[in-house]
Amino acid sequence: MEGKTCKEFDESCIFCHFAHNRDVETTILKQDEEFVCFRDIDPVAPHHYLVIPRDHIVSCKSLNRSHIDLVERMAKFGKEVLLDQGITDMENVRLGFHQPPFISVGHLHLHVLAPASQISTYMQHKFTPGTDRFITEQSLRERLKKVSPLTFTSFRQYLGF
């Protein structure tokens, strides 16, 4: 577990149930010891998958510099799923996260969309990079470089102790 911003399992989180194989109805496309990938229930592109960490992390706003590698590994995992599904044009994909308050489930999840050129025009606004709603994994990694890991000392300083 990277940083101190997550816990292993949240009973009230549906994605935690997916991540820990406690949901028999969801088809898992790929999983390993760190991540699980499944189809989005409301796809906006021919290939619309979600990659989630097994550990419960609320959102991309819960991350700091120590999570850059986690985001990178999530993106790599998502691209592996696309390859498994026969997608080879990695220039026509979109990988990113919705940002609070525009998240539907409070568990970090990477949207993996392909082909990006076929994202539904009706839903395009929800997946436009650079908006308050959606941040690409690459932009998130850049932003996280500026966010210091939370330490006990920095937290005390934040509180004014």
The pLDDT tens digits for 29-83 are 999 999 999 999 999 999 999 999 999 999 999 999 999 999 999 999 999 999 9
Judge contact between 44 and 119, C-beta under 8 A: yes
Residue of 48, 67, 109, 111 marked active site: 109
Q: Taking residues 117-135, report their average pLDDT.
A: 96
Q: pLDDT band at 151, cuts 50/70/90?
A: low
Mean pLDDT of all residues belonging to the chain: 90
CB–CB of 89/78 below 8 Å?
no
Q: What's 131's domain CATH number?
A: 3.30.428.10
Would you say residue 129 lies in a domain?
Answer: yes
**Could you tell me the pTM of the whole model?**
0.88
- The answer to whether position 114 is within a domain reads yes
Q: Which two tokens stand for residue 131?
A: 């908006």
Alpha helix locations (H) across the chain? 14-19, 68-84, 137-144, 152-159
Containing domain of residue 89, as a range? 6-146
Confidence of residue 2 (pLDDT cuts 50, 70, 90): very low
Question: Is residue 100 included in any domain, yes or no?
Answer: yes
Classify residue 154: in a domain, yes or no: no
Residue 109 annotated in active site: yes
Q: Give helix 137-144 / helix 68-84 axis angle, nearest 10°.
A: 170
User: Is 152 among the domain residues?
Assistant: no
* Burial (0-12, 13-18, 19+ Cβ within 10 Å), 103: middle
Q: What is the mean pLDDT of residues 76-102?
A: 97
β-bridge mates for residue 41, sequence order: none
Does any domain span residue 158? Answer: no
Residue 157 lies inside a defined structural domain of this protein = no
How many domains are there within the chain? Answer: 1
Q: Is residue 160 part of a domain?
A: no
Say how far apart CA 28 and CA 129 lie, in whole Å: 27
